[in-house]
Amino acid sequence: MKKWLLPLILIVAIAFWAYRAGGGFYNKAITLKEDATSQWANVESAYQRRGDLIPNLVATVKGYATHEKETLEGVIKARAEATKTTINAGDLTPEKMAAFQKAQSGLSGALSKLMVVVERYPDLKASQSFLELQSQLEGTENRINVERNRFNKMVNPYNQLLKKFPNFLFAGWFKLNEMTYFKAEAGSEKAPKFTF
């Protein structure tokens, strides 16, 4: 047997293994990343639903509380900021996630202020359209939480795959980066109170 044949066979075997392992890793990573990306769209959709409810809520409150102009304008401004702050799911960096969360927190804060105002108007609290909006808003807040949790569950297996050996080598070759989890902001352990 020729001396160059054994090293050639070894090189071909290693190349074949690397091709198979790299291809398998890449396909699995892309599948997991797409699952997480799809779930991120559900998170954004839940936030969009909340944003869509706000004009109706503001209009209902405005009919009863006409001299609460500053609070109503604050809610409208916070809604505009929250709906314009979006993230490409393929580029969920910690900085972009923090900006997204900051905009959403601004809207939550504005809604909390609005609910404090509502306390001053018993007729508003008894209004059927306000009660329906309140119910929809509460349901939407729950939906947002569920979708964020599902997103984190989808990100977890993807990030784990990228961190394992030898996958982290392949991740570098394919330029695949970890996705950022949706994390609670400081002080958010206290849920906003919506008392109607």
Structure confidence by residue, pLDDT tens digits, 110-146: 888 888 888 888 888 788 888 898 899 999 999 999 9
Question: What range does the domain containing 100 cover?
Answer: 49-154
Report how far Cα 159 is from the mean position of its chain's Cα atoms: 16
Question: How many domains, the chain?
Answer: 1
| In-domain check, residue 171 | no
Distance CA 81, CA 103 (A): 6
| In-domain check, residue 190 | no
Structure confidence by residue, pLDDT tens digits, 166-196: 899 999 989 999 999 988 776 655 555 545 4
Closest to 46 measured CA to CA, from 148, 133, 144, 153: 144
Which pair of structure tokens corresponds to residue 119? 């306390």
| In-domain check, residue 70 | yes
- Residues with Cβ within 8 Å of residue 125, at least 6 apart in sequence: 118, 119, 131, 196
| In-domain check, residue 100 | yes
Closest to 129 measured CA to CA, from 20, 42, 40, 55: 55
